[in-house]
Amino acid sequence: MKTLVVGGAGFIGSHLCDALLKAGHTVCCMDNFSLGTRENIAHLKEQEGFTLWEGDASDGDVLAEVFEKSRPEAVYHLAANSDIQASAANPDVEYQNTYTTTYQVLACMRKFQVKKLFFASTSAVYGDKRDVLLDENTPNLAPVSYYGAAKLGSEALISAFTYMNDMKSLVFRFPNVIGPRLTHGVIFDFMRKLEKDPSRLKILGNGKQTKPYIYVTDLVEAIMKFASVLEEDKTGVTLYNLGVEGDTSVTRIADILCEEMGLSSVTYEYTGGEGGWKGDVPRFCYCLDKIHAAGWKAVYDSDEAVRKTIQEVRREKEKG
């Protein structure tokens, strides 16, 4: 099938391009390289069935040209600002890179009659519901970050466009996603800090912020498996909370990292408070009944995903 991966040079997008090509699909990868990198897709450039478009999906004219030339049958939309901490200082980034990209993708799908969509949503749509077991029917979604707001707005757009244009859409609300090609986030920060000064580690908050971390290949496998819903006759939106067994606190991440780096006497310096920064949700927990009942389970639990990521990122670094 001819696929378009918007945000295909990003951390998750590039892994998805790998999987789609491996499954025999052609891949048109579009990216504006704001967070995505050429390195992430360097190994695909010569590969049969892969084409790269440099362009910004929030520009409707540019995107229409990509649709016109590549004529996709299915669109995987992963373009977004994924750095929540950064957009807290500048919400325009979310308006442009997260919401408007979704709007333009849907407007082009409507125009070019493309009916199959995968969308990467997030736990951030729920807001701060730290004491609620979050399932797909949890009410009162109340994002506390501009990122979560733009993603919830995107879900709303997908609902209306899917209904109005008889589309099929698959939406996953991702937890924290980690693995090779990761560019930011707590693991990356800690690693950088400890390389600079292996005697101590400054930790934002009280270190008890606890979230489920999914390994990126587990996530991509789930996308590939459930994309079969886009082949069914039934139109509509299919939504899953995508999660893993267990969760990992920020202090636990530091512990695993120190173990892997062979550091035994690091002093942790906590800045204090429950959240890492304003807009950060300190804890959340997914109910996984729906996705488990549908026959999928992650290979790695949260702690394993953290450890494997640290190992992979260190291996990449050693390779240079």
Q: Which residues bind a copy of itself (CB under 8 A)?
A: 88, 91-92, 95, 99-100, 103, 106-107, 110, 125, 127, 136-146, 148-150, 152-154, 156-157, 159-161, 163-164, 237, 278-279
Q: End-to-end CA distance of the chain, in Å?
A: 35
Which CB, 136 or 260, lies closer to a copy of itself? Answer: 136
Which CB, 13 or 127, lies closer to a copy of itself? Answer: 127
Smallest distance from a copy of itself to CB 244, Å: 24
- Tokens describing residue 291: 């996705």
33 residue type, one letter: F
Other residues' Cβ atoms within 10 Å of the Cβ of residue 64: 15
Smallest distance from a copy of itself to CB 141, Å: 7
Q: Are 109 and 74 in contact (CB under 8 A)?
A: no
Which CB, 139 or 320, lies closer to a copy of itself? Answer: 139
Smallest distance from a copy of itself to CB 73, Å: 22
Dist. CA 161–CA 167, nearest whole Å: 7
Which CB, 33 or 163, lies closer to a copy of itself? Answer: 163
Q: Please list the residues that pair with 211 across neighbouring strands.
A: 248
Smallest distance from a copy of itself to CB 103, Å: 5
- Tokens describing residue 145: 């970050």
Smallest distance from a copy of itself to CB 284, Å: 15
Which CB, 92 or 232, lies closer to a copy of itself? Answer: 92
Strands of 44-139 (E only): list them. 50-54, 74-77, 116-122, 133-134
Which CB, 103 or 270, lies closer to a copy of itself? Answer: 103
Q: What is the distance, to the nearest Å, from the Cα of residue 133 to the centroid of all Cα atoms in its chain?
A: 21
Smallest distance from a copy of itself to CB 152, Å: 4
Which CB, 95 or 188, lies closer to a copy of itself? Answer: 95
Which CB, 104 or 217, lies closer to a copy of itself? Answer: 104
Element at 306 (helix H, strand E): helix 302-319
- Tokens describing residue 55: 């362009």
Q: Tokens 């493309």 identify what position?
A: 114
112 residue type, one letter: F
- Tokens describing residue 231: 């082949």
Smallest distance from a copy of itself to CB 81, Å: 13
- Tokens describing residue 227: 């994309």
Which CB, 92 or 259, lies closer to a copy of itself? Answer: 92
Smallest distance from a copy of itself to CB 277, Å: 11
Dist. CA 83–CA 248, nearest whole Å: 20
Give, as one character, the DSSP assignment of residue 121: E
- Phi, psi (degrees; rounded to nearest 5) at 101: -60, -45
The DSSP code sequence of 168-216 is: EEEEEEE-EEESTT--SSHHHHHHHHHHH-TTEEEESTTS--EE-EEEH
Q: Burial, 206: exposed, middle or buried (Cβ in 10 Å; 0-12, 13-18, 19+)?
A: middle
Smallest distance from a copy of itself to CB 150, Å: 8
Give, as one character, the DSSP assignment of residue 98: I
